Structure 1
Amino acid sequence: MVMSSNGLALIYHSQYNLELPGHIFPAHKYSHLYNRVKKDPVYAQWDILLPKIAEEHDLELVHTKEYLDDLFSYDHTPRTMYSELPLNRSIVESFCYGVGGTIYAMELTKKHMFAFNMGGGYHHSFPDKAEGFCYLNDIAIAIRKSKETRPNEKALIIDLDLHQGNGNSYIFQYDDNVYTFSMHQGNIYPKKENSDFDIHLEPGTKDDQYLTILRDALIKIKKEFEPTIIYYLAGADPYEDDSLGELKLTMKGMKERDRQIRQFSLETGAPCVITLAGGYARDFRDTVEIHFNTISAFGEK
């Protein structure tokens, strides 16, 4: 069984995982999420689809040749130095597989309403440089890739990570066929770019306020833009016990957030690509559970 009756496809590759002992980025969360899915009585029998590694010509749809040359040479240069991750073959290959997963999810929306890459969401990467925990921008690459076969595609990026999706905001700032929406804590990293619609949340924002703001934002977006596809960055880091943030969403609030995006996708008729993005809960198991709850929210009938 590949999908549920409402059209959810799941994508995963073991290469998503990184060995980063002691690093705040929980790069082994991908395998733990996979295992959580396989132990669940609903999803245990599902086929998890395997992506291919992204080709360099796909990466060049967004990233400059000079930057990619540095990246694949594993050189610390002014283009790669702003990453907060090590730079080596296994890490670069992991990012290439993550990009491949998001491209595959985009392709699967021809048949499925929801396509979930159990990785990806590298929204801080710029065309000519790395930033944060991001070497390659998978969402931007998938959007550009889709234009090859769907030139009139109108893509909506809904970024609900704790941090602004500054890379995507920069890349698509002059593209009328891509609408960037980022709702994030306003007083923290990164240096902000201008999205089509930014909401800068105050520290301490709780479930009710967050969900009301999101609901109103989606109503506004629906009036301004008619997407044919949605890319949802379902960051786990707005959670109340995240080590990098000060938003105060509960597990229940996080899942209701995901349900709102699912319902918005159904109402607009635009299929949705879902990626994980960030998550740094003090208890690592919470990060995994939040990501799993996103899967189950989109898998509900």
Structure 2
Amino acid sequence: MLKIAFDTIYAHPLPEGHRFPMLKYELIPEQLLHEGTISKDNLFSPQAVDEKYILLTHDKDYWERLKTLHLSAKEERRTGFPLTAKLVEREMRIVQGTIDTCHFAFDNGIAFNVAGGTHHAGTNWGEGFCLLNDQAVAATYLLENSLAKSILIIDLDVHQGNGTAQIFQNEPRVFTFSMHAEKNFPFRKEKSDLDLGLKNGMMDEEYLNILAETLPGLFEKTKPDFVFFLSGVDVLATDRFGHLGLTRQGCKERDRLVLKRCKSEKIPVQVSMGGGYSQRISDIVEAHCNTFRLAVEMYF
């Protein structure tokens, strides 16, 4: 059974000005339930992560100041959010949701966190609406518990996964791959193990060709026993901040390429949803729902 981490707190504690793009966290499961792609049995609500797992990835000083709401004004501005206790709790639940879905991915081949993909958070900073790096914490958790020996992180959000790259810059067991719009946030990039910076306006055919040419060699080189996939839909042409030109169908084919490779090689994959900022919420929700539909079609 496909298992999906979901909690209403993913959307509700956010400040008024940030709620429009975050509505997707409620609308994605609602749409999937409405159309019959999933049932309520597919959904589960994660608890807040134990801080001992946070401290495997994030610096203690940063975490102590974050959880006690003592980030400096500059650090808080960098996150993009007014810092609140509810917001920290939200991040802790997202992280635990990603850890939980790793276990479900071992059982079923694939599992999802409706939220997550908080790839701009580094060891000692939050940035770009990311306070804790869910997939990085989960990857470190797998390594520390001897659940994986070689991890591949496939980050196809339109923005470079700078926090993830920084966290694992000296960890050979984790290979970070980011394919993103080069002339986009973050403007100071970190160095992933493989970065593919794309030109503005790139459309479906060119994008998919590059990805299709890259994935086989990537899997051959890294020989992963676990994959994290960040499937941001801010690659859409309709996205306000993305600068790429993919259609919904192109975005769906992108996801198919990744999931097909993982399934054919029998490598469990955890999926976090990442960004999406199109003007119409339906563009965001439909593009994300396509990833879930593909998983049901291909795995179940």
Normalised by the length of structure 1, the TM-score is 0.94
Distance in 2 between residues matched to 1:174 and 1:45, nearest whole Å: 41
Moved more, 47-56 or 164-173: 47-56
Aligned to 1:198: 195
Q: Using the alignment, how far apart are the partners of 2:19 and 2:40 within structure 1? A: 33
TM-aligned CA deviation for residue 268 of structure 1: 2.2
Q: Matches of 1:237 and 1:36 in 2, distance apart? A: 19
113 and 184 in structure 1: CA distance in 2 versus 1, 3 angstrom threshold: same
Distance in 2, matches of 1:108 and 1:45, equals 16
> Is residue 60 of structure 2 the alignment partner of residue 65 of structure 1?
yes
- Equivalent position of 1:29 in the other structure: 24
| Paired letter, 1:287 | I
Match of 1:245, SS state, is coil
* Partner residue, 1:138: 134
- 1:12–1:48 contact (8 Å) kept in structure 2: yes
SS at match of 1:231: strand
The one-letter code sitting in structure 1 at the alignment partner of 2:132 is: L
Q: Distance in 1 between matches of 2:87 and 2:77?
A: 14
Q: Which of 254, 259, 270 is residue 256 of structure 2 equivalent to? A: 259
1:107 aligns with 2:103: yes
Deviation larger for 173-182 or 72-81: 72-81
The secondary structure found in structure 2 opposite 1:110 is helix
Query: Which of 175, 183, 189 is residue 185 of structure 2 equivalent to?
Result: 189
Q: How does 1:16-165 map to 2 (within 5 A)?
A: 16-18=10-12, 19-23=14-18, 26-44=21-39, 46-77=41-72, 79-150=75-146, 152-165=148-161
The 8 Å contact of residues 67 and 80 in structure 1, kept in 2 or not, is answered as no
Separation (CA, whole Å) in 2 of partners of 1:46 and 1:40: 15
Taking the aligned partners of 2:148 and 2:216, their CA distance within structure 1 comes to 23
SS of residue matched to 1:299: helix
- Aligned alpha-carbon RMSD (Å): 1.5
Moved over 6 A (4+): none
Q: 1:170 and 2:160 equivalent?
A: no
Distance 1:86 1:36 in 2: 30
Number of positions where the alignment pairs a residue of Structure 1 with one of Structure 2:
295
| Letter paired with 1:291 | H
Q: CA deviation at 1:36?
A: 1.0
The aligned counterpart of 1:211 is 208
Aligned partners of 2:92, 2:36: CA distance in 1, in Å? Answer: 31
Name the SS of the counterpart of 1:223 in structure 2.
helix
* Aligned partners of 1:20 and 1:27 also within 8 Å: no
Aligned partners of 1:235, 1:45: CA distance in 2, in Å? 24
Which residue of the partner structure matches residue 297 of structure 1? 294
**1:12 pairs with 6, 12, 18, which one?**
6
How far did residue 45 of structure 1 move? Answer: 5.4
Q: Give the counterpart letter for 1:235 in structure 2.
A: G
Task: Provide, for residues 206-238 of structure 1, a one-character-per-residue CA deviation record: whole Å limited to 9, x for no partner.
Answer: 001000000011022023110000000000100
The structure richer in helix per residue is: 2
The alpha-carbon deviation at position 164 of structure 1 amounts to 0.2
**1:37 to 1:167, Cα distance in 2 relative to 1, 3 A:** same
Equivalent pair of 1:207/1:250 in contact (CA under 8 Å): yes
For the residues of structure 2 that align with 1:37 and 1:239, how far apart are their CA atoms? 20
SS at match of 1:134: coil
1:180 matches 2:176: yes
Q: Which runs of 5 or more structure 2 residues have no equivalent in the other structure?
A: none
**Distance of 2:194 and 2:60 partners within structure 1:** 30
Deviations 1:121-154, CA, capped at 9 Å, x for gaps: 1000011111111000111100111123226521
Whichever residue aligns with residue 234 of structure 1, its letter is S
SS of the aligned residue for 2:152 comes to: strand
TM-score, with structure 2 as normaliser: 0.94
CA distance, structure 1, for counterparts of residue 142 and residue 150 of structure 2? 10
- Give the deviation of 1:273 after TM superposition: 0.2
CA distance in 2, matches of 1:193, 1:28: 30
